[in-house]
Each structure stands twice: as C-alpha cells, then as structure tokens.
Amino acid sequence: MNKDDNKISFSFYHQNYFRDKQNLKKLWNLLDTKLVNPTRFDTVERAKKEFTQDSVEQAYNEYLGKEMLFVKGSKLGFCLSIHTFSNPSITVSTFYFNEKLADPKNMNCWFEWIKKFCEHFPIFFGYGCSFKEYNLKHKVITELGGGKQIIGAVGVSALEFLKYNSGIYWTTILGNALVSETNVDKLDKNEMVTVSQIKHHQAMITLNENILQTDYSTRLMHEKSIAEILNPAYFFDRNYPNFEYKQANEILNKISNQQR
C-alpha cells in the first residue's frame, strides 16, 4: 500500500465565486473556525503567509494575479487548493485531509462544514474519496523507458468537465442542474446510500460503508450501479472511454456566460 492511499480529498467544480472579494471574505469567515484552525495561506502549496481575518485583502490581490490559492490548517492535515481556469471559465476547489478524517466523529463534523460550503457557494458537481479510490478511477502512468515515467490523470480536468462529470464516488455531491437532470429521487429508498439534501436544490449521495477499504472492487461495483440509476451518460467511467457522455445544459450555459 502506498503511504498516501488513505489520505482523503473532496473536490468541487463551481462558478468563479472568489473573483468577487466579498465571496472570498465569506470563505475566509467559513474557514476561520476551530474545526479548520487555519494557519497559513499563499499562492503556492508551501504556504508561508499567516492566516488572519485581515489577511483576506492580501490573499484576494494575490489570488487575482495567479488564480491559485492555498490555505493550510492545523487539524487533520487540512489543505485547501483553489484553482480558477479561464478556458473553460470554472473554479475547482479541493480540500485535502489525512486518514484520521475517516473516523466517523471527524467525518460527521466535516460533512456539516462541507454542506455549509455548498450552501454558501452552490456547486456544479463535487465528490469525496480516498486517494486510493481516486487513483483507481483516474491515475494514468505513461512509461518512457529507462525507468522514467509520466504520471497524469484522466476524466477530471476542467476541459473534460465540459463533456461529463468525473464519476461516482464514496460521496458524490450534485448541484441544482444535475439534481434536475438525473434520477436522484430513485435513490431515496436505496439501502446502499444515504441521500442528504443541501440548500439550493443540491444533493449529497454517500455510500453506507467506510470511506477507506482494503479492497475497492466491491466499492467500484456499487458506484457503477449508482451511476446507472442516476443516468450513466453524465458520469465518466474509465472502463467505458467511448461511451456517449454529456454534461448538464444548465452547467454549460453558466460556464459559457462567465467567459463573456
């Protein structure tokens, strides 16, 4: 097992909220809690600048220049990565944690915080899983010879998001457009999952099993069956690269409007 296999991340595709200073201030307030205990921020991952309520002005100006922002916290290995793209015009926010998040007590607290994030900044699509599950779904290794290789990913880029959502995971969060265009209501009595409603017509779908597994083969089968219920055309699966996928029209329209 790789030492990082049991680390956990939650990623969200959403509008470019943080180009508006008031929205970044809102995020700063959301982060400034005992649960996160934010300590540093920067436009590079090795964040060195002290996080304070007043530092949001500096963070905003630097974010506008780089369209990247990182925030580190002292709890559970917390790191927030925000990356805003110009083409397509979309932001991907990812929260990273160590394996201690898998403790149900910790996970329950963070689930409530994640729901608040989605309430403040309604998303298009989001997901949460272990690094191991993510790699099974997306990691691509290209051998170059001589012991050299390139490690990449398939299905998760901003450009690919125009064609489909990256998949179904241990936790999958659907924004308003996907709730409207998929069959979320058919999961209400499904024993495999718990469906939680979030403000602004969003839904969180969570498998009723531990986020960390020693063998992910059953997990992947469960997720495939959930995709088939929702509508598999919206959710990428690397085992079916030539499937006729699609993205929700409302999502594409909002992205298009941001680019004008």
pLDDT tens-digit profile of 22-57? 999 999 999 999 999 999 999 999 999 999 999 999
Q: State the Cα–Cα distance between residues 126 and 168, nearest whole angstrom.
A: 9
Question: What are the E-state strand segments in the chain?
Answer: 8-14, 38-42, 49-50, 68-73, 79-86, 89-97, 123-130, 139-145, 148-153, 171-174, 193-198, 202-207
pLDDT tens-digit profile of 56-69? 999 999 999 999 99
Q: What is the pLDDT of residue 143?
A: 84
Q: Provide the whole-model pTM.
A: 0.96
Beta bridge partners, 194, equal: 206
Give kind and range of the element (H or E) at residue 230.
helix 217-230
pLDDT tens, residue order, the chain (260 aa)? 678 999 999 999 999 999 999 999 999 999 999 999 999 999 999 999 999 999 999 999 999 999 999 999 999 999 999 999 988 999 999 999 999 999 999 999 999 999 999 999 999 999 999 999 999 999 999 888 788 889 999 999 999 999 999 999 999 999 999 999 999 999 988 999 999 999 999 999 999 999 999 999 999 999 999 999 999 999 999 999 999 999 999 999 999 988 65
Q: What is the pLDDT of residue 145?
A: 79
Half-sphere exposure of 33 (CA within 13 A, CB side): 14
Q: What is the pLDDT of residue 58?
A: 97
Q: State the Cα–Cα distance between residues 126 and 92, nearest whole angstrom.
A: 9
